[in-house]
Amino acid sequence: MRVLSGIQPTGRFHWGNYFGAIRQYIRLQDEAEDAFYFIANLHALTTVRDPQELRQLTLDAAIDLLALGLDPDRATLFVQSDVPEVSELCWLLLTGTSMGLLQRCHAYKEKKARGLSADAGLFAYPVLQAADILAYDSDTVPVGEDQVQHIEVCRDLAASFNHHFGETFVLPAAKLIDTSARVPGVDGEKMSKSYNNTLEVFEEPKTLRKQIMRIVTDSRPVEEPKDPQTDHLFQLYSLFADDAGRAEMAATYRRGGFGYGEVKKALAELAEDFFAEPRERRRELEARPERVSHILGDGAAVARKKAAEVLLRAQQACGVKPA
Ligand code: ADP
Ligand code: TRP
């Protein structure tokens, strides 16, 4: 089984990215025979238009993933643009993709609905994503709910290519990662870069503490009992607490007689402890940039070898290379 997933370097990772995606990817590196993870910088180019920023975010994403436990001995980590075969494959797929299919895809549709002008890159985004998946004969793609549509597009494109030119691509399946891990932001809405409500994994502890103290809470009196299940501060606390800690905090909520400030302090301490080791590993990696480029270079070599094999198969099937 080959597991593959990509993550866009459009900003520094926040708690939502970690608990909603990255943590599951890292767990899967032990279960899968083969795990491929890449930093989708070509996709990010549809939003990040500053070259220096894109370079920095791409490198930061690699360091962050390694610091959080992605192990290059157990998984292949690479940067999307280091495998040019994928872009060639993308063209082969584009020629068989109907406009209607892409018009229904949500990233493009939403941008249009907001009255913004979308470029052809955003329009073709799902086709590049399909090439990412098909290039490595991936059979399992762990993604959040928002990406399920793109996996379906990938399956459609692969199936119609296979139907027209003969069996070429492996059809992948989406593996929905735990959607109960929808992490709220500091305002209680879904945590997202687009909502400006994030808490970043590698934020400076002092800054993080301040941001946690500013988490929006209601103004009910201290003594009033409260339901923990509907409280976003409790949900954030639960991400870090163990079972006993969570049960104790839930009991405190139900009893009443506590201030949100105390919960926030406890949350800040737990979060700082939780990410202390990754923070230390990150410092070490940052001090050894040659080690990081070595890991990415090795990853790209492994990925390219596989992608070249699949690309040739597709080129032969559609007649742009001798059969
Ligand atoms: P953002 O919304 O901040 O732009 P992305 O869309 O880049 O985040 O998300 C990257 C990955 O992190 C996706 O797989 C997505 O499902 C997951 N993710 C993002 N925000 C959350 C959240 N608040 N809760 C759970 N998972 C999330
Ligand atoms: N579109 C995905 C996201 O925004 C990132 C991505 C690009 C991806 N290529 C992929 C995910 C291939 C899975 C497989 O999260």
Quote the pLDDT of residue 179.
65
Do 233 and 126 lie in one domain? The reply is no
For the chain, list residues with pLDDT below 50.
Answer: none
Quote the pLDDT of residue 65.
98
Residue 281, in any domain of the structure:
no
Quote the pLDDT of residue 116.
82
Residue 229's closest CA among 258, 254, 211? 254
Site to probe by mutation for ligand 1, drawn from 150, 192, 200 as the one with most ligand atoms within 8 Å of Cβ, is: 192
Residue nearest to atom 20 of ligand 1 (CA): 16
Site to probe by mutation for ligand 1, drawn from 4, 17, 24 as the one with most ligand atoms within 8 Å of Cβ, is: 17
Do 269 and 299 lie in one domain? The reply is no
53: domain range? 2-182+289-318
Quote the pLDDT of residue 71.
97
Quote the pLDDT of residue 182.
87
DSSP 8-state secondary structure symbol assigned to residue 75? S
DSSP 8-state secondary structure symbol assigned to residue 35? E
Do 236 and 301 lie in one domain? The reply is no
Q: How far is CA 146 from the centre of its chain?
A: 11
Distances (CA, A) of 240 to 183, 244, 273: 12, 11, 9
Do 83 and 227 lie in one domain? The reply is no
Quote the pLDDT of residue 193.
93
Quote the pLDDT of residue 117.
82
Residue 196, in any domain of the structure:
no
Do 22 and 154 lie in one domain? The reply is yes
Is the CB–ligand 1 distance for residue 6 below 6 Å?
Answer: no
Do 45 and 129 lie in one domain? The reply is yes
Tell me phi and psi for residue 142, to 5 degrees. Answer: -75, 125
Q: What is the pTM of this model?
A: 0.95
Which tokens sit at 37?
């993870």
Report the catalytic residues.
111, 190, 193
Q: Which ligand is nearest to the CA of 134?
A: 2
* d(C-alpha 148, C-alpha 142), whole Å: 9
Do 213 and 162 lie in one domain? The reply is no
Residue 235, in any domain of the structure:
yes
Domain count of the fold of the chain: 2
Do 169 and 219 lie in one domain? The reply is no
Residues with Cβ < 8 Å from 160, sequence gap 6 or more? 96
Do 72 and 177 lie in one domain? The reply is yes
